[in-house]
Structure 1
Amino acid sequence: MNLEDIKVAKKLLSKEQKIVIIPHKNPDGDAIGSTLGLWHYLNNHGLQATIVSPNDYPGFLKWMPGNDKIVNFESDSIGAKKLIEEATLIFTLDFNHLGRIGQLQPLLEEASATFIMIDHHQEPSDYAKIMYSDVSMSSTCEMVYNFIEFLGDLDKITPEIANCIYTGIMTDTGSFKYSSTTSRTHTVVSKLIELGANNTMIHNKVFNTNSPSKLHLLGCALKNMVILQEYGTAYITLSQEELDTYEYKKGDTEGIVNYGLTLEGIQLAVIFIENKEEKIIKISFRSEGDFSVNEFARKYFQGGGHNNAAGGKSDGSLEETTSYFRKLLEQYKDELIA
């Protein structure tokens, strides 16, 4: 953030506001951690703030302090709509285009509130008065920590805030192994632990609460893995029938795509997940090195994200989508096996 934006933010937060904080649709650990971390900070300062989530999120994130105060638009659309209409200040966290919030998009487009964006994805749109956008950041949670620091309030970070922010940094960096993890990231995490983040507890809550059906679904996914060594690529498919067989719950496929990158010689890993309710194939891309899955997803699969982690979707069938994907790989062979 530049000095002028910091001054404007301080002025906005120095007076009474009706604040709404919004994560992207299908929020992950970074989205929920950043919104809850900011929510605790604002409420601790006597500001009236509420989180409105476009839809539900994985159960392994619902232990976080303040989770029970989140308004889910899908289960309380009337209440959520009223909050957004009456808001004077809206924070949008972990997304930079209103197309990422599903059914909330028209409500935010019509909202009269002042907008503050905090996000680390590429190619932001310009809907916000204050845009704290930095693609070099490991996570939006690290940016929320910075935002609190810009406001001169690091000493106001409570254990509740520290736990929320730590969770988002941990999950969005793949437990600190992705290239977006910097020395600054580790410095922030160290400070969060000093301020009360319980790193062992957080890891156990996020990663060690699996159900048998979730592990069986993982086994199914790995059995479905297709390895295309000649293209440095591995991809996984999961049909709606397979999801139903293994009693899929939101969040059960989180992280499965990364298994492809554990194979020697693989630079691109993809998972294709059928969603018959939305009539789409949801796609997650991961890469190593210089191959930009952000550009690939934007160009071919209505998506985007980061250079090494992105999402997309297809309106075709699972078979049509994977067939199209395999044909595309022929254009990128030299890049993927370099």
Structure 2
Amino acid sequence: MNSEDIKAIQELLAVPQQIVIIPHKNPDGDAIGSTLGLWHYLTNSGLSATIIAPNDYPKFLKWMPGNEHILNFERHNSQAKEKLAEASLIFTLDFNHLGRTGQMAPLLESSEAKFVMIDHHQAPSDYAVVTYSDVSKSSTCEMVYEFIAYLGGKDHISAEIANCLYTGIMTDTGSFKFSSTTSRTHRIVADLIDKGAQNTEIHHQIYDTNSPSRLHLLGCALKNMVILEEYSTAYITLSQEELDRYGYNKGDTEGFVNYGLTLDGIIFAVIFIENKEEGIIKISFRSTGNFSVNEFARTHFEGGGHTNAAGGKSDDTLSETVQRFRSHLKNYEEQLLIQSS
């Protein structure tokens, strides 16, 4: 953030505001961790703030301190709409296009509130009066830590804030193994531990609370994996029937796509998940090195994200989507082979 943005934020927070904080639809650890971290900081500072999540999120994120105060737009619709109508200042975290909020988008687009964006994805839109966007950051949680520091509040980071921000940084860096993890990331994490983040317990809550059905679904996903050595690519498919057979719950497929990248010689991994309710195929893309899945997703599957992690969707059937995906790979053969060599 530059000095002009910092001053603008300080002026906004110096007067009474009705603040709403919003993560993206289908929020992940970084989205929930960053919104809760910011919520704790603002409310601890005596400000009025409410988090509204566009929809539900995985059970393994609901242990975080303050989770019980989050309004689910789908479940608490009238209350959420009331808060949005009253809002004078809206923080949008971990996304940079209002369309990423699903059913909430029309209300946000027509809102007279001032917006502040904190996000680390590429190609931000320009709806905010203050846009804090930095694609080099590991996570939005890392940016919220910096945001608090810019406001002079680093010494006021509580254990609750530390636990929330640590969670988002840990999940968005793949437990600190992704290339977005910098020395600065580690210094921030060290400070969060000093301030009360329970790193071992956080890891347990996120990764070691699986249900038997989730592990059975993982077995199904790995059995479905297809390896295309000629393109240094591996992909997984999961049909709605398979999800139903193994009692799928929201968040159960989190991280499945990364298994493809554990294979020697594979630099491009994809998972295709059928969603009959929405009538789409949800797609997650991952890569290593310089192969841009952000560009691939934007070009072919109405998506985007980061260089090494992106999402997309398809309105075709599962088999048609996979066939279309495979047909595109020949156009990237040289890039994929260069990266894998």
Q: Deviations over 1:70-124 (max 9, x none)?
A: 0000101111111111100000000000111100000000111110000000000
Unpaired stretches in structure 1, ≥5 consecutive residues: none
CA distance in 1, matches of 2:220, 2:69: 36
Alignment of 1:167-316 (within 5 A): 167-316=167-316
Match of 1:103 in 2: 103
The TM-score, its normalising length taken from structure 1, stands at 1.00
Q: 2:170 aligns to what SS in structure 1?
A: helix
Match of 1:52 in 2: 52
CA distance in 1, matches of 2:81, 2:111: 10
Contact 1:267 1:337 in 2 (8 A): no
Q: 1:11 and 2:14 equivalent?
A: no
Q: 2:82 aligns to what SS in structure 1?
A: helix
Q: 1:123 and 2:120 equivalent?
A: no
CA distance in 2, matches of 1:105, 1:164: 26
Alignment of 1:62-141 (within 5 A): 62-141=62-141
Report the CA distance between 1:267 and its aligned residue.
0.8
Q: 1:81 aligns to what SS in structure 2?
A: helix
Report the CA distance between 1:14 and its aligned residue.
1.3
Letter paired with 1:113: A
- Sequence identity of aligned pairs in percent? 72
Report the CA distance between 1:280 and its aligned residue.
0.1
Alignment of 1:319-334 (within 5 A): 319-334=319-334
Q: Which runs of 4+ in 1 moved over 6 A?
A: none
CA distance in 2, matches of 1:292, 1:267: 11
Unpaired stretches in structure 2, ≥5 consecutive residues: none
Contact 1:285 1:293 in 2 (8 A): yes
CA distance in 1, matches of 2:328, 2:92: 34
CA distance in 2, matches of 1:225, 1:249: 21
Alignment of 1:147-158 (within 5 A): 147-158=147-158
Match of 1:40 in 2: 40
| CA RMSD in angstroms, aligned pairs only | 0.4
Report the CA distance between 1:337 and its aligned residue.
1.2
Contact 1:268 1:287 in 2 (8 A): yes
The TM-score, its normalising length taken from structure 2, stands at 0.99
Contact 1:23 1:95 in 2 (8 A): yes
Q: 1:186 aligns to what SS in structure 2?
A: helix
CA distance in 2, matches of 1:104, 1:231: 39
